[in-house]
Structure 1
């Protein structure tokens, strides 16, 4: 089958976060990175991808999504028990026999694999369908007979088709079994602050309510590292790869819309109860391209000065970087759109309009993107 024409959807976001510890390192402090010679606040791509996947769960039935776990054998056994009225022991034997030909390495705990496996819940139901009608007969076999009976069943094929949207977007890598790999259609960058940041610490105490007046002082003391930042966030989706993963262009366009919505609205939850840090983006811009994805983080190699108007200056630089790149490289995007909350009369708003078009609501941005992608795929 000939390869599909390339089509990339770049998503650029500016989001201001108050004092927070969204994504901590091994010392419990917010993750950071040096960029342009300055220390910046950083949120890892993994943290925001997980937040995006969790946001999917608010929009989709769990059965239509994937899950990442080491307990695939245990989960398969649970479904066999529920569907075929088997004992837990027999279900576990059959589950192990079904998965053994695939070469998935066993973990240290019974029912676990050696690594996390990202799969669709409906894919697991497809495996149950292969043996549900014969489950009682299979349970009566000894281990060798059972393995011989199920070794040629198309178990691997169940994991190679019918991918849920999150597996299709974020991919799957199984080092031991290349045939189970799914090429990710989405790339997510580490979020970086547009300006230099300094790590701060909150020294807190907790008072024992039952000590009365006979004792003074705190019942507990501790510290939490935090910072605050205006973050530049970037992700790109390859519609051609997503279509290959899902098997249908209409479904792929719907998945792009789901990703843009969830990527924009999601937020990592680290220390959420301590900081109540959840905000919404101040700017979301989308660019549809046919050549390659383009991250615009170079707009912030020179850190935005810390002072009044970090967001406004960050927005101005984003517009300038996009206009310069488009002019110098001769870019001709298929579609651009922007949603932002800056003052409509400000020079920054004018610069953004020149770069990305008129300001729209987020709903209008998504509607326009769906229409543009639908028309593009229909024209091919």
Structure 2
């Protein structure tokens, strides 16, 4: 059996955040990690994946988006209760809720003990997939509602509800995957892996002491409220890898695969976690975006910063030079030369051009990536056919 060829698109980003608390722990402190013996600023992978998914969804029509929720039963019941002209069945609310519960029972979805209207776990699915479940009823909704609970359960069990949620995945599910421990048939292998963002240098947490004035208090000059918020500033190394081959398998369309891949790179680059955004306005754009394409295995280049950068006149340029050196070193030591390298950067070090090639504008970088992914998809289809 011939193994399907692989293509990994790695995204390496250097980005400086001013004083901020973009991702905090349970005590309100900016998340941190010890790396190379130094305390680093950290933004968790979950936080940046959420920000990326939110940014990615901006370019998608609402009906084509995915949602992650415990309220799948309520969403399905709402669709069932819509008039037939709007894709529903026209059932009364109580009937729609009963039928929705029966349809979802094969998924092993049980109600939460705390909130009866919610399921016990979050499920990530496409909104159009709910519409497809409604279509499975084939205009039989009213008749099904006349059956006893036992007969309704038997009839619904004949419908391919699980198969419907296992196909036609929206781009977001295809990218970030889905894991359902109780029903492995619903699992979708993620095409994307995201690392925790780490500062390239050591950081120190600081405190902002703030006060709020009571506008209507004219009797004294004291504050109406006082408090503190913790923050730091950092130059972060961000890394994510997209398996184009896995994305293709999840979407089953070369066109959708290419468009989704470009959309992910764009969204990951532009996204920003929103913790304390109103207090710090920390929305910045990267100094450098480096894409490396590989066909063997992904390589996170965070080792460039195992020895923390010590800035005298700034951190970004030295961090970029370190990244260039690590890319070159990995290629020389391990023979791990990328298939292709694309970069967009605003830093003027000659070593960057040597390692990354000339800087492209970000739109040019995306266009070039789109061409290379399109060519790989075409070539891999030929290889598949020959096999």
User: TM class, shorter-chain normalised?
Assistant: over 0.9
After TM superposition, list the pairs within 5 Å mapping 1:13-162 onto structure 2. 13-82=13-82, 83-108=88-113, 109-131=115-137, 133-162=139-168
The alpha carbon displacement at 1:62 in A equals 1.8
Once the two structures are superposed, residues 191-238 of structure 1 have per-residue CA deviations (whole angstroms, 9 ceiling, x without a partner) of: 0000000011111110100011x2231111111111000000000001
The alpha carbon displacement at 1:154 in A equals 0.3
CA contact (8 A) 1:239 1:256 kept: yes
TM-score normalized with structure 1 length: 0.96
After TM superposition, list the pairs within 5 Å mapping 1:1-380 onto structure 2. 3-82=3-82, 83-108=88-113, 109-131=115-137, 133-212=139-218, 214-343=219-348, 348=349, 350-380=350-380
Structure 1 residue ranges without an equivalent (≥5): none
1-side partners of 2:376 and 2:330: how far apart? 24
Q: Which runs of 4+ in 1 moved over 6 A?
A: none
1-side partners of 2:144 and 2:2: how far apart? 43
Structure 2 residue ranges without an equivalent (≥5): 83-87, 381-387
2-side partners of 1:365 and 1:334: how far apart? 15
Local SS of the residue matching 1:166: helix
2-side partners of 1:336 and 1:275: how far apart? 34
2-side partners of 1:152 and 1:335: how far apart? 50
The alpha carbon displacement at 1:309 in A equals 2.3
CA contact (8 A) 1:84 1:132 kept: no
The alpha carbon displacement at 1:111 in A equals 3.0
Local SS of the residue matching 1:99: helix
The alpha carbon displacement at 1:71 in A equals 0.5
Local SS of the residue matching 1:281: coil
CA contact (8 A) 1:80 1:132 kept: no
Aligned-residue CA RMSD in angstroms?
Answer: 1.2
CA contact (8 A) 1:196 1:306 kept: no
1-side partners of 2:148 and 2:377: how far apart? 53
Once the two structures are superposed, residues 272-326 of structure 1 have per-residue CA deviations (whole angstroms, 9 ceiling, x without a partner) of: 1000110001100000001101000000000000431200000000000000101
2-side partners of 1:48 and 1:132: how far apart? 41
2-side partners of 1:351 and 1:65: how far apart? 42
Residue correspondences, number: 374
The alpha carbon displacement at 1:354 in A equals 1.1
